[in-house]
């Protein structure tokens, strides 16, 4: 079984994907990692994140082990890494260079320890539209920018990071605009995706509702 979860930043895709992968014993591919890896590679090399040739080269050279290595860097998940990822992700040649690596995972899904899995959960922006157009279940998880900013702001606070809600909201809006308006694979639900606005639900409620959807779909198949 392949499940795809697409949607904007901080909509709760990662939390949901993690819970689904545990419940249904599926491998998990957080596809934002490939773009974060390429963006961070450029930052670490001192190259511009707008340099399309350098970004394409870094994307062509990216391997799974290299991505895992880069993911240990302090800026992989920081604002620096997030911005670099969203800038390189808007470059069509970068997306093309990273497509096969993402698609190959669905043919041979593996858990983090390298053991084989019978299927996978993907999370990203185009996993139901471009990466796995034949996925068994496609979800598009969203929430208002204000709700997503509030969730992220609370995460920052819990980590003791000093950021204002207004700054977090501005960053979310900036990332949404870049993801939605780029020419290559703009963020949008697949025609056959189930769209779920999580603005008024907790993560546990979202998980419960999505499990119901999956079980209903599995019965029909
Ligand atoms: O999901 P995450 O915040 O880690 O993604 C980082 C950036 O990578 C996103 O803002 C988006 O621009 C890009 N991305 C993408 N397509 C995906 C996953 C992520 O364009 N499938």
> Which domains can be identified in the chain, with CATH numbers?
2-214 (3.40.50.300)
Q: What is the pLDDT of residue 161?
A: 87
**Token pair belonging to 10:** 């901080």
Distance 78 CA to ligand 1 centre (A): 13
Rounded-to-5 percentages of helix, strand, coil across the chain: 55, 10, 35
Q: Is the CB of 86 under 6 A from ligand 1?
A: yes
- Encoding tokens for residue 32? 């934002």
| Ligand 1 midpoint to CA 8 (Å) | 8
Look at residue 217 in the predicted model and tell me its pLDDT.
80
Residue 69 has a pLDDT of 97
175 touches ligand 1 (CB under 6 Å): yes
Could you write out the three-class secondary structure of 122-168? EEECCHHHHHCCCCCEEEEEECCHHHHHHHHHHHHHHCCCCCCHHHH
* 130 CA closest ligand 1 atom index: 21
Q: What is the pLDDT of residue 9?
A: 92
Residue in the block written with tokens 């390429």: 38
Residue with tokens 């040739």: 53
CA-nearest residue for atom 14, ligand 1, is 32
pLDDT-flagged residues of the chain (< 50) = none
Give the model's pLDDT for residue 220: 74
Q: Is 31 in the pocket of ligand 1 (CB under 6 A)?
A: yes
Cα 66 to the center of its chain, rounded Å = 18
State the distance from the centre of ligand 1 to the C-alpha of 17, rounded, in angstroms.
15
DSSP assigned state of 91? -
117 φψ region: left (φ > 0), alpha (ψ -120 to 50), beta (else): beta
Name the residue of 13, 85, 174, 188 whose CB sits within 8 Å of the most ligand 1 atoms, as the mutation to test its pocket.
85
pTM score above 0.75: yes
Render pLDDT for 105-118 as a digit per residue (tens, 0 to 9). Answer: 999 999 999 999 99
- Encoding tokens for residue 150? 């509030």
With contact defined as beta carbons under 8 Å apart, do 149 and 165 qualify? yes
């Amino acid at each position: 079984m392949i499940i795809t979860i697409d949607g904007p930043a901080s909509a709760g895709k990662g939390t949901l994907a993690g819970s689904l992968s545990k419940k249904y014993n599926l491998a998990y591919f957080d596809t934002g990692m490939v773009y974060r890896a390429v963006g961070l590679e450029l930052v670490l090399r001192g190259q511009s994140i707008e340099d399309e040739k350098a970004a394409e080269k870094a994307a062509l050279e990216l391997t799974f082990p290299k991505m895992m290595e880069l993911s240990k860097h302090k800026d992989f998940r920081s604002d620096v890494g997030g911005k670099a990822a969203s800038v390189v992700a808007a470059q069509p040649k970068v997306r093309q260079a990273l497509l096969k690596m993402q698609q190959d995972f669905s043919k041979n899904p593996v858990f983090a320890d390298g053991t084989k899995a019978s299927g996978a959960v993907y999370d990203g922006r185009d996993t139901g539209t471009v990466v796995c157009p034949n996925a068994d279940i496609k979800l598009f998880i969203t929430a208002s920018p204000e709700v997503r900013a509030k969730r992220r702001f609370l995460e920052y606070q819990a980590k003791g990071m000093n950021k204002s809600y207004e700054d977090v909201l501005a960053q979310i809006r900036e990332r949404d605009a870049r993801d939605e308006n780029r020419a290559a694979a703009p963020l949008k639900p697949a025609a056959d995706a189930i769209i779920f606005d999580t603005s008024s639900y907790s993560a546990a409620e979202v998980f419960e509702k999505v499990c119901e959807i999956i079980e209903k779909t599995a019965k029909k198949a």
